[in-house]
């Protein structure tokens, strides 16, 4: 995607806080989400983050501030989910972004009457972010989680066998599995520690039915599918990003002890189906254009097959997206201790690009729909402090982490809150922030399916 005037580093908004250094939502960003005023019975509708405000797209569409395709796109985004906007395709997405950019941009000199009226209408459509609540930005029909970090794959394999190598198919294609869309929720999600059949590595079979003891997070990037494709029509790599609306953050919560027991032979099931948390704001692919970077593989790595290869993907298929994980414990909140940053990494480390993931997903004829969700898989880098989950950071629970306030963690405890943060920045360019993705662990519910907890504790296959 080529750069245009909406990427200009010198562009400023008449909304002053959008121009603050380090702000997540400058005028060059303009991410979309779904909101309403907190505690109200208003309908949820689409909005655009700018500074510390939200531009209400429902109110904007009802005004005369936008025209043509931009107004049509705003009307589609004024619904309780953004699926209708996604379905309109890149031309409409671009028209909305460019139309809103023009309205919010600071202009020199005295504006004409038409410009003044449009800005006045736009000002009337602003709602403070501090006064809103979010819903999922889209209706998620299907959710696919990939496994595309070489460093994560290698670290995980070597916890079982220090000499283990990443499976050959990992280098041949983006590996993924179908997740559970019904338990995807927006940032702020609180969920109960899941029950399941699980077994510690040192325990002999049979597994016990009990709450997970190895509860983990996974730092991932969420890719939201825009326009879909027809059944039986693969999406060529050169066109793959035309089917991606934008990116957010994703926490793929994982019950590791359940996962270890159930993985063979078909992969994750209950270990991944109880909760997935996504950030409320979607940063458009157009906004990310200045932060594209080459997709690089080591010389000894095999070349991908032709359907996963283009010069454009090699030149700029990766994204310089910086990511962090923070942990706030229940004790932190009581004692006032600050949260602990557990890791920092970069999305550009992934072995496969988002375009390659989407193209491979459709290569067998699978139909993607507007609002489908793709998870990147855990984002881990080559350094130990770049690991994207506790399984790696604690070496499978053998090396506890010391937190601010003196606590230790191998895996998550009840009351823990995990915060994911992400942003892009480059010399001479503003920071493009993703906001945060927050989720909290609640205690397990009483023993399900039986009033006899002892019976459940010893239930096994």
Q: Mind telling me the catalytic residues?
A: 152
Q: Report the candidate in 163, 212, 138, 125 with the shortest Cα–Cα distance to residue 397.
A: 212
127 beta partners = 54
Residue 132, token pair as written in the block: 């809103």
Cis upstream peptide for 265 (omega within 30°): yes
Q: d(Cα 20, Cα 29) in Å, to the nearest integer?
A: 13
Please, are residues 367 and 229 in contact by the beta-carbon 8 Å criterion?
A: yes
Q: What is the dihedral of CA 105, 109, 111, 112, to 10 degrees?
A: -140
Cis upstream peptide for 206 (omega within 30°): yes
Q: d(Cα 110, Cα 385) in Å, to the nearest integer?
A: 52
Q: Report the candidate in 262, 147, 267, 265 with the shortest Cα–Cα distance to residue 194.
A: 262
> Quick one: DSSP state of residue 458?
T
Question: What are the DSSP calls for 100-167, one per residue?
Answer: HHHHHB--SSPPPHHHHHHHHHHHTTEEEGGGEEEE-SS--S-EEEEE--HHHHHHHHHHH-TT----
Q: Report the candidate in 277, 299, 171, 162 with the shortest Cα–Cα distance to residue 218.
A: 277
Helix axes 90-104, 68-77, angle to 10 degrees: 100
């Amino acid at each position: 995607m080529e750069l245009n005037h909406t990427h200009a580093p010198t562009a400023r908004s008449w909304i002053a806080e959008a121009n603050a250094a380090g702000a997540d939502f400058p005028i060059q960003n303009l991410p979309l989400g779904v909101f309403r005023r907190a505690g109200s019975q208003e309908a949820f509708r689409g909005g655009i983050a700018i500074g510390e405000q939200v531009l209400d797209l429902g109110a904007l569409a009802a005004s005369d501030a936008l025209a043509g395709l931009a107004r049509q796109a705003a009307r589609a985004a004024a619904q309780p989910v953004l699926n209708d906007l996604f379905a309109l395709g890149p031309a409409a997405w671009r028209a909305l972004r460019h139309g809103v950019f023009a309205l919010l941009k600071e202009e020199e000199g005295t504006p004409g009457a038409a410009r003044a009226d449009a800005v006045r209408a736009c000002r009337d459509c602003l709602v403070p972010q501090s006064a809103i609540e979010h819903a999922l930005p889209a209706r998620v029909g299907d959710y696919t989680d990939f496994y595309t970090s070489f460093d994560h794959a290698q670290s995980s394999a070597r916890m079982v066998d220090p000499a283990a190598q990443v499976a050959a198919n990992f280098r041949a294609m983006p590996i993924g599995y179908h997740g559970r869309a019904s338990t995807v929720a927006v940032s702020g999600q609180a969920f109960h520690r899941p029950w399941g059949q699980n077994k510690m590595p040192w325990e002999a079979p049979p597994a016990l039915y009990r709450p997970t003891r190895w509860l983990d997070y996974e730092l991932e990037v969420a890719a939201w599918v825009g326009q879909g494709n027809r059944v039986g029509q693969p999406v060529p790599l050169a066109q793959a990003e035309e089917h991606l609306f934008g990116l957010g953050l994703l926490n793929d919560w994982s019950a590791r002890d359940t996962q270890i027991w159930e993985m063979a032979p078909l992969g994750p099931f209950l270990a991944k189906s109880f909760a997935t948390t996504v950030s409320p704001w979607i940063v458009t692919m157009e906004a990310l254009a200045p932060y594209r970077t080459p997709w690089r593989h080591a010389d000894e790595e095999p070349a991908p097959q032709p359907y996963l290869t283009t010069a454009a993907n090699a030149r700029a298929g990766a994204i310089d997206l910086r990511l962090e994980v923070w942990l706030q414990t229940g004790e932190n909140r009581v004692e006032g201790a600050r949260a602990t940053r557990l890791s920092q990494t970069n999305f550009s480390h992934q072995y496969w690009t988002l375009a390659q993931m989407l193209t491979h997903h459709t290569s067998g004829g699978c139909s993607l729909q507007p609002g489908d969700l793709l998870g990147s898989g855990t984002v881990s880098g080559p350094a130990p402090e770049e690991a994207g989950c506790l399984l790696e950071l604690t070496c499978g629970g053998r090396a506890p982490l010391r937190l601010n306030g003196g606590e230790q963690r191998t895996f998550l405890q009840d009351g823990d809150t995990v915060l994911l943060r992400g942003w892009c920045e480059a010399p001479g360019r503003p920071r493009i922030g993703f906001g945060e993705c927050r989720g909290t662990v609640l205690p397990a519910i009483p023993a399900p399916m039986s009033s006899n907890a002892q019976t459940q504790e010893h239930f096994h296959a």
